Amino acid sequence: MLVIISIVGVFSVWKQTSTIKEDVNSFWNGIDSLNNDLGKTIDQTQRNLDESLRDTNDQISAVSNEIHSEINEIHRIIDSRLDKLEDRLTKMFNDGCKPVQDKK
């Protein structure tokens, strides 16, 4: 009788051990799956950030080029206006300031 109880007990313990091993394996498989998913998510997020950074740098460069172009245009306009003013003042000086004398 003790032998039968021992055999049943050993079989019962073996069955429970097998079930626990399966649960542990399933647990580790779940952790591996989560780890792989997390790694893929991190990689995709890094790629998205890199792409966003490139796009932002491109936009900054475009705006910077546009600003430089506008500044050059403003300098050109100011230079043109100063040249015209210089020409008028030179003409007035050479004419003996007649436009100023005529207003008196």
Question: Cβ–Cβ contacts within 10 Å for residue 17, how many?
Answer: 10
pLDDT tens column, 42-95: 999 999 999 999 999 999 999 999 999 999 999 999 999 999 999 988 988 888
pLDDT tens column, 12-27: 888 888 889 999 999 9
Measured distance CA(16)–CA(12) in Å, rounded = 6
pTM (predicted TM-score): 0.55
Q: Tokens representing 94?
A: 């050479």
